[in-house]
Amino acid sequence: MTRYSYPLRRPSSPWGSTSGRRPAGRSSPASASPRVRLDDAPFARVLDTLARLGSLKSDHAAPVARALDRARLLDHARREGWTALPAFDVLARALPTAELVGAGLARLDAGGMRPQWPAHRLLIPWTAEAGAEHEHGRTFARRSLLPPDERFPVTIWPPGRRARGLLRIGAEGATNEARRVLVPDALDGIALLAYAEARGRAVVAYVVPWLEWLPLDDPPFAAGERVYVSIPRPHGYELARRLAARGVKVHELAPPVGGSWAETWEAYRAEHEAEAGGEGGEHEDDLGAPA
């Protein structure tokens, strides 16, 4: 196991904190509605409906698509099959109340049915590679694209459907030379891919669904494989320690600029779009190092 130079800096990305945790003592709007986990069949209908209505090429997804396009991540999000949450009136016409509430998309209170976390409009289909609780491991994460606000979680899950397996981001046909990197957030994952591709490097990102997730019953890494951990302490260190105990070759990979790959990608784009003319600079000793 490689010796660590932790702690890594905690992400301060414009996408927000990656932990998704709520400060202690703050209640969720979900408390106004019974948190009933949908059965597999109605949940599958919800997934199919969201996929059909939320294409990032559709008018329903325009605000989310514009935000991703400004970050030069729209093509990567489309490639991974990400979608956007349609307007609430569109959802209300497409799905019954019980399914909207059961999937965490709506809540019921004295005023009737209302949208639940309406700012969390980026939808990330999550088919887990390992440790999945549900049939086919299918669920989805909802991600906010607003500036960080410690009062609210950045990523939320349908009731009873929080993922327990890693999400793989990257080309299916990635070669064995591709670096396998564990990241704490899906947007950070596609930012890492964009940055690596711009520099001619091959990377596959594996997203930890939430930073307290450490069961590792069946990780998709064999003994002797090389894996890079790009997650802040203490969670990244504990995850690395457990992988190393299984014989995985673990290395630290810190974002070279800022505290996240989103910040690194933003800085790289700004540097090159401005045609500064310098070579290498602060991006030199990261993904370009030998695997």
Q: pLDDT digit string (tens) for 141-152?
A: 999 988 777 888
Predicted confidence (pLDDT) per residue in 239-285, tens digit: 888 889 889 999 999 999 988 999 999 999 998 877 655 444 444 44
pLDDT class of 88 with cuts at 50, 70, 90:
very high
Which of 122, 156, 190 delimits the end of a domain? 156
Instruction: Say how many domains are in the chain.
Output: 2
What's the confidence (pLDDT) of residue 175? 63
- Mark whether 184 and 276 lie in a shared domain: yes
My answer on whether 205 and 263 are in the same domain is yes
Pick the last residue of a domain from 109, 135, 156: 156
Residues 103 and 179 in one domain: no
Confidence at residue 177, expressed as pLDDT on a 0 to 100 scale: 79
Least confident of 85-99, 179-193, 194-208, 270-284: 270-284
Residues 150 and 179 in one domain: no
Domain limits at 231?
167-280
Residue 16 domain-assigned (yes or no) = no
Only one residue has tokens 């397996």, namely 165
* 175 and 101, same domain (yes or no): no
Q: What is the rounded radius of gyration, in angstroms, for the C-alpha atoms of the chain?
A: 19
182: helix, strand or coil: strand
Beta-bridged to residue 207, according to DSSP, are 167, 183
Pull the structure tokens for residue 229: 């951990």
Over pLDDT 90: what percentage of the chain? Answer: 49
Q: Which CATH number goes with the domain that contains 61?
A: 3.90.980.10
Q: What is the pLDDT of residue 128?
A: 55
Do 189 and 269 lie in one domain? The reply is yes
CA distance 31 to 19: 21
Q: Is 146 domain-assigned?
A: yes
Confidence of residue 50 (pLDDT cuts 50, 70, 90): very high
Tell me if 1 is assigned to some domain.
no
Q: Is residue 10 included in any domain, yes or no?
A: no
Name the pTM for this structure.
0.79
Per-residue pLDDT of 112-140, as tens digits, reads: 899 999 999 999 998 755 444 444 568 89
Domain CATH for 190: 3.40.50
Please indicate, yes or no, whether residues 174 and 129 belong to a single structural domain of this protein.
no
pLDDT at 36: 67
CB contact at 8 A, 287 and 179: yes
The larger pLDDT score, comparing residue 199 to residue 277, is at: 199
Identify whether residues 189 and 262 lie together within a single domain.
yes
- Which of 113, 130, 156 is a domain's end point? 156
Q: Are residues 272 and 177 in the same domain?
A: yes
Q: Could you give the percent of the chain with pLDDT greater than 70? A: 74
Whole-angstrom CA distances from 147 to 132, 195, 206, 207 are 31, 22, 24, 21
Strands (E), the chain: 83-84, 106-109, 112-115, 122-127, 138-143, 155-156, 167-169, 179-183, 203-207, 226-229, 249-252
Mark whether 134 and 182 lie in a shared domain: no
